[in-house]
Amino acid sequence: MTVDKTPATIGPHDSTPLPFPPIAPLPRPRRRDGNRGRGQLRIIGGEYRRRLLPVIDLPGLRPTPDRVRETLFNWLGPGLAGARVLDLFAGTGALGLEALSRGAHDATLVELDARASRALEDNLATLGITHARVVNADVMRFLDAEPTPHSLVFLDPPFRQDLAAACCAVLEGGWLSDDASIYLETESTLAPEVPANWILHREVRAGDSTGRLYRRRPTGEDSPTEDAC
């Protein structure tokens, strides 16, 4: 049998199917919900708005996404001015640095990893912030020290280590002012156990994590009625 090896020609109106399907364009890469780029943290608002800071690459480091931070700080509103902030499991410092940019009086950022702690100190120096300190320590050991009341606490413990409930209980031992706000971020599958006098104010879900903002009331006061959304 003779095989015709003459290349086929296809005119503008020729309906002969091509021997191979056309190559589909590659999908555009999705931007990660969080920072502007890998290894960077963006301050969203306040004095240091739009400043980009380096972030080291460490296993398990989960910077709170931009969208969640913006939502959280909209909830906190003008009441953030003058706040005394405690950022536990600070990681990249995304929450503590944002609070300082928006007028917090001071902040203590507690982080166990030595490299992350050094990066936090470097970023504070880059921004020229002198009213904050970084503590390189285990959070539970830090909370064993003599407590100082804080009006705003960020609590973002590592997932699947059962630290949230223990930290919440210890905070009630003198680390919170009477009307403190506490932001707790956990895996979405976890129903966190919090003290009875913490009133859920707002919550937001992003991927596999859920952030909840609580308002504290002194023990013995009647619980106020607040709608959560």
Report the CATH number at residue 71.
3.40.50.150
* Residue 132 forms part of a structural domain: yes
* Residue 59 forms part of a structural domain: yes
Assess contact for 136 and 111: CB atoms under 8 A. Answer: yes
Checking if the pLDDT of 54 tops 50, the result is: yes
Instruction: Give CA angle at 169 (120, 136), nearest 5°.
Output: 20
Domain range for residue 89?
40-216
Predicted pLDDT at 30: 34
* Residue 223 forms part of a structural domain: no
Checking if the pLDDT of 9 tops 70, the result is: no
Predicted pLDDT at 29: 35
Query: Looking at residues 154-164, what average pLDDT do you find?
Result: 91
* Residue 11 forms part of a structural domain: no
* Residue 100 forms part of a structural domain: yes
Task: Provide the domain count of the chain.
Answer: 1
What the block records as the tokens of 164 is: 């949230």
* Residue 25 forms part of a structural domain: no
Per-residue pLDDT tens over the stretch 76-100: 998 899 999 999 999 999 999 999 9
Which residues are 88's β-sheet partners?
Answer: 110, 155
Which residues are 108's β-sheet partners?
Answer: 86, 133
* Residue 7 forms part of a structural domain: no
Per-residue pLDDT tens over the stretch 13-53: 444 444 444 444 443 333 333 444 458 899 999 999 999 99
In the chain, the percentage of residues whose pLDDT exceeds 90 is 66
* Residue 107 forms part of a structural domain: yes
